Amino acid sequence: MHLKRPAAGRSRPLRSLLAVDFDLSDEQAAIQRLARDFAQGEVRPVAEELDREKRFPYELVKQMGELGLMGIPYPESYGGGGADTLSYALVVEELARVDSSVGITLAAHTSLGTWPIYAFGDESQKAEWMPGLCAGETLGAFGLTEPEAGSDAANVRTRARLEDGEWVIDGAKQFITNSGTDISGFVAITARTGEGEISNIIVPNGTPGYAVGQAYRKMGWNASDTRPLSFDGARVPEENLLGPRGMGFKQFMQTLDGGRISVSAMGVGLAQGALDEALAYARERQAFGKSISKFQAIQAKLADISTEIAAARLLTYKAAKEKDEGRNFSLTAAQAKLKTGRLAVRAAEEAVQIHGGYGYIEEYPVCRFYRDAKILTIGEGTDEVQQMVIARALGA
């Protein structure tokens, strides 16, 4: 067998083609330890209580802001941590390993609330919002989903018209995270600003005509804030346009791509947390005179989930690395989102099964993990949307 010689001018050393570094840098490892210590030491002791009381974790958000976690992937010049996307994914993973409500609060704020300001805002908008966002003093929200515009993202019905130097907005959004807390600052919404034209507009909380609805009663993510929004003649200055007029569709598609990395990290974290709990319980639980972790059926479940987590983690980290390198990461992010969401559901289910009857009791974390997992196959684009994205990328 002979290796085909590369075309002239395109050869590279074989070592460079094969070299893949799976190790975290010292800085990334330090950030991972920081997030893990915080999650285990501060989040874990209160996670069950926050979920049961459906209480937003204000104190934890404040602490994450003080630790620099709320703005970790943004430049230090704006008050951020100056870290890369992989470091950010590591933080989200460690939080979701313990509690998904805290994980999604940070992830939605960072990927959906802060990113549009950083990526598409002008210097005035960045100066106004970025320091508070990065410090965790202000939460940002992203308003895309509507009754007719979720998976069909281009079918936006909310409208905005220019009138006397102001955008006048009418419409509604739903399932919006971080929009109704005491520290919510704004929502960046998609709206039709002309025929065949979608734009993004910043609507600060407290704007007359902008109303935040009652929090949804949800299956999971009970300590996160998710609400419907309505706009009835809401007026904001013309300069609240985010980026060029008519570029809204491209902007929110880029935002969703980045958001899929963070949701993938949540899937990996939840699956790892479920495995952690299942393994610990299996070691302690005695049946037929020995630990149930010694039974082949239990070992098979643990081994399969562990292997799938390892593969899903690499796929998620690959998407983060591609984003950091400025490469097209849409396909990898969609693949990671599809893989990790399904894995989270399966891992949580298997963890409940290993716990037996106790897995159905709320005091055990796996019960919460099970409820929290399903949304990971829906939010940031359903599994079916990810399959469409992947199939198109393959040329199908």
Q: List residues with catalytic annotation.
A: 380
On whether the CB atoms of residues 191 and 169 are closer than 8 A, the answer is yes
Q: CA nearest 199: which of 242, 169, 236?
A: 242
The answer for residues whose C-beta is within 8 angstroms of residue 18's C-beta and 6 or more apart is none
Whole-angstrom Cα distance, residue 149 to residue 156? 5
Secondary structure element (H or E) that encloses residue 186, with its range: strand 184-194
The answer for residues whose C-beta is within 8 angstroms of residue 53's C-beta and 6 or more apart is 223
Q: Is the dihedral of CA 196, 200, 206, 207 positive or negative?
A: negative
Whole-angstrom Cα distance, residue 396 to residue 151? 19
Q: Give 191's strand partners.
A: 199
On whether the CB atoms of residues 42 and 62 are closer than 8 A, the answer is no
